[in-house]
Amino acid sequence: MAVHITARSGDGQNVRIIKKMYEAGFSLTFKSDFILTPYIGGQTPILEAARGGNLEVLEYIIKHHPDGVNSLKEKDNRGQTPTHLAALSKHVEVLKYITENDSELLKEKNNIGKTPNDEVDDSISFKP
């Protein structure tokens, strides 16, 4: 769970901390049902990094994740992908990074049928 919280936080030291945790054997793929948002569940470090807008941590985790870029397809218990969470949190740089790796993720629907583009409001008007 410490990896999840560190991945979500926006501190500039987090890549270094995540690297040390990974080297010490902490999982980059562990799904937790109680992080900072206990009502959602199914959170992974990648989902938390996207939600927190922590691009450097997201890039590091993807580089070291066994599924690599395919890990961007992970979903929480509500069907939210990293793309959904970045859109909801208005993290444009994270959205750009994700769509540069797989623009099809903008079409992915969550459990209530919304795509990441449905989650983006007019204040950021994201277009890949």
pTM above 0.85, yes or no: no
Residues 83, 76: Cα–Cα separation, whole Å: 12
The domain locations on the chain are 2-119
Q: Could you say which architecture CATH assigns to the domain 2-119?
A: Alpha Horseshoe (1.25)
Percentage of the chain with pLDDT > 70? 66
CA nearest to 57, candidates 92, 28, 14, 101: 14
What would the pLDDT profile of 55-114 be if each residue is shown by its tens digit? 988 888 888 877 888 889 989 888 999 999 999 988 999 999 999 999 899 999 999 999
53 within 8 A of 88, measured Cβ to Cβ? no
Q: How far apart are CA 48 and CA 9, in angstroms?
A: 8
